Structure 1
Amino acid sequence: MLTRLRPGRRAYINTLVFLALIAVWWIITATNIVKPLFLPSPGSVVSAFWDANTCRPINDSGTAEVCGEDDYFLWQHLLASLERIAVGVGVGIIVGVALDFLMGTVNWIFDLVEPYLNFLRSLPPLGYMGLLIVWFGIGDVSKVWLLFLAAFPPIAMSTISGVRGVQQDRVLAARSLGADRGQVLRQVILPSALPQILSGIRVATGFAWTTVVAAELNNGIPGIGGLAYLSGTRLDTPLTIACIIVIGVAAVVLDLGLKKLSTALVPWEGKA
């Protein structure tokens, strides 16, 4: 049986590993083993991150200045992407949970819809991008649709699995005590399926976040994915790496937040 490290020791080891990676990165760039175009130094990445969040003069007299990158600060790019994620995943949650509760509790709806859901789940979201642009243009509507299509299948499958996996003994016990169908749904099926639903939402959010760069390839400004793409096409490698780091950190924070939310909403998970 594997033993887990204590939180304090684990944080200490993680810090050492992080510092070691930064040191290796700095040594590689300082010794010019890799050209700065391909791997800029940590300092230049930090400088690019700072410039993307501040205003700076563009002439010697300081009478004119530019703020951020592509007319927006980096945090505004990140916020725009988060808003698209929130709308796409939010609609995915509403549609997915409502539809799949019906699929999980009404057999004929399950038999009718399941083949199409499996078909949708098997398609890569990027395959829709061209069609969505034709249908909805290059604005935010096509991006939100893409993120919805990325988030919907994981939510749908986890909801169906959670609802259909409820122990029938609990349902029969509730009905024997006089509970009607609505009470069974609210007080038995939903609490029992909620852990898997939340797990599906967590997976869907992560999947949608990994799709955000692709969603913002076309007219993605403001957007952290769009900024990462454009800075790469301009060979601004420090800014590209800064965007990648921000995307990764944001993903970790989102996942931790959803994990904490799941623990708060279903404290009984694993205990009953």
Structure 2
Amino acid sequence: MSVFVDITPDEASASSPPAAAPAGRWRRRLTAAALPLLSVVVFGVVWQLVAASGIWNQTFVPYPSTVWRAFVDVSTTHDGVRGYAGYLLWEHLYMTLRRVFVGVVIGVALGVLLGLVMGSVGWVRSVLEPWLTFIRALPPLAYFFLLVIWLGIDEAPKITLLALAALPPAAVATTAAVVAAPVGLQEAARALGATRTQVIRDVVIPSALPETFTGIRLAVGMAYSSVVAAELFNGIPGIGGLVKDASNYNNTPVVLVGIFAIGFSGLIIDGLLRTAERRAVPWRGKI
């Protein structure tokens, strides 16, 4: 005995997996990868055209090939000369990243802790918020020379400057996130018998984490924007010291190599932070 089941076209299409969905995902991924690559190509073409136009002297706008040769020279030993000022590019970059890492860790740790306290205790926020705004408004060079007078020209003023640059963004973002924590959830937790510490640990901190990560990313960016200032004195090895020293001799190709090194390493670090944020805060945007 045979059984025939009448299936309408709409039911058949609903029961079978859509074939266009994987294709659409791949198309979006290819577009997301192609657009940044296209922007780099366009930038390179425009740069080459501007350099070839002769409007500006090669000292000001060198050819991309000249910058590439400078990158190779700084990264290798050539004609008995090792990199730039006796250090290879990766050694300059390593010293800069080490300083940034230590400064950011100190600044972010203090900033997040300060933000938790300021967000939880109103009078502490009233006392410290103007000082944070004051420090955030200061350009790094405004107090770097004072740090040099106080701490010397070794690593201490550089790391202190980077920590001071990273602290306000982390503190402000954490404070705002803690203040904006859902009051209903906090009251529900207290109604169920949770202590103040438990409310902060189980309700406030998880709800504040997404904005705190945003503050951390901003803090890293502020520290990176201050790294050249931090390495003004005794900054070699270091990318900031390399850029400053090369600028003293109008060595624009090496200056551009240093700028690109800082920018590309910053992009990589920001990508790592975004990945860590997605893994640590999977509930962002879902509550």
Q: Is residue 2:26 matched to residue 1:8?
A: no
Structure-1 residue corresponding to 2:169:
154
Cα distance per residue 1:208-266 (max 9 Å; x no partner): 10110111111111110110111111122111111111111112112121111111111
Superposed displacement of residue 31, structure 1: 4.9
Cα distance per residue 1:41-65 (max 9 Å; x no partner): 11111111111111112xxxxxxx1
Equivalents in 2 of 1:22, 1:199: separation in Å?
31
The gaps in structure 1 that reach 5 residues or longer are: 58-64
Q: Is residue 2:268 matched to residue 1:245?
A: no
TM-score (normalizing by structure 2):
0.86
After TM superposition, list the pairs within 5 Å mapping 1:35-184 onto structure 2.
Answer: 35-57=57-79, 65-184=80-199
Superposed displacement of residue 151, structure 1: 0.9
Superposed displacement of residue 147, structure 1: 0.8
How many residues get paired? 261
Equivalents in 1 of 2:67, 2:126: separation in Å?
53
Contact 2:209/2:281 (8 A) holds in 1: yes
Which residue identity is paired with 2:227? V
Equivalents in 1 of 2:269, 2:175: separation in Å?
24
The verdict on how the C-alpha distance between 1:250 and 1:172 changes in structure 2, with shifts beyond 3 A counting, is: same
Superposed displacement of residue 73, structure 1: 0.7
Identical positions, percent: 42
The gaps in structure 2 that reach 5 residues or longer are: 1-26
TM-score (normalizing by structure 1):
0.90
Equivalents in 2 of 1:56, 1:218: separation in Å?
27
Structure-1 residue corresponding to 2:21:
none
Equivalents in 2 of 1:46, 1:25: separation in Å?
13
Equivalents in 1 of 2:128, 2:260: separation in Å?
40
Structure-1 residue corresponding to 2:18:
none
Equivalents in 2 of 1:231, 1:172: separation in Å?
59
Equivalents in 2 of 1:118, 1:33: separation in Å?
43
Decide which moves more: 83-92 or 176-185.
Answer: 176-185
The verdict on how the C-alpha distance between 1:21 and 1:116 changes in structure 2, with shifts beyond 3 A counting, is: closer
Contact 2:113/2:171 (8 A) holds in 1: no
Equivalents in 2 of 1:19, 1:115: separation in Å?
45
> CA RMSD of the aligned region, Å?
1.6
Equivalents in 2 of 1:7, 1:168: separation in Å?
39
Structure-2 residue corresponding to 1:60:
none
Which residue identity is paired with 1:68? G
Equivalents in 2 of 1:100, 1:12: separation in Å?
40
Decide which moves more: 204-213 or 177-186.
Answer: 177-186
2:75 partner SS: coil
